Amino acid sequence: MTPSAPDRDLLDDFAVPRAGERAWSVFTDRVMGGVSVAEGSLEDVAGRRALRLRGRVSLERNGGFVQVARALGDGRAPLDASHALGLSLDVCGEPGAYFVHLRTTDTRAPWQHYRAPLPVTPEWRTVELPWAAFVPAGLDRPLDVRALTRLGLVGGREAFDADVALARLALWRAAPRVVEAP
């Protein structure tokens, strides 16, 4: 597999460790009093180096999520992804209730985000999530893809044992068209 396809803008590829690779952090509902537990690690998963999120999602004490997340943008300005059609993720794992969460400059409260379901199978596959798949949670503004600040890979909304791996993350855009000269 090539590091990036012509119709993808690479955000993370765990196949090759890079200096300055963006930091991913693990969060759970414990920040709100829940009891879910999780761990994140870089490891070989079914033949590919990947970021792996494992944990137990519990609905006890108003809980219900485990998450691994990273900042988007350059630290001074959000990521402008308006040239892209959505996100492309190479994922595998145990099927469950997984989502991709996006935060923007409009999401100020901790519970606000834009959520899209992430189908996961035991085999590696590329999932393309168009921007239209992301619905607002905790706010009523539409997703502004010119102002992305954070991305989270989440297991939640039901009690289960989460185990999902991410090998590659990219912005998915239309392939350039060749226009014939007259």
pLDDT per residue, tens digit, the chain (182 aa), is 334 565 679 999 998 776 445 689 999 998 888 899 999 999 999 999 999 999 999 999 888 999 999 999 988 899 999 999 999 999 999 999 999 999 999 999 988 999 999 999 999 999 999 999 999 999 999 999 999 999 999 999 999 999 999 999 999 886 554 445 55
Location of structure tokens 């300055």: 20
Location of structure tokens 């921007």: 131
All domains in the chain, ordered by first residue? 8-172 (2.60.120.430)
37 backbone dihedrals φ, ψ, rounded to 5°: -130, 150
In terms of pTM, does the model score above 0.75?
yes
Rounded-to-integer distance, Cα 66 and Cα 28, Å: 4
CA nearest neighbour of 37 among 48, 51, 26, 21: 26
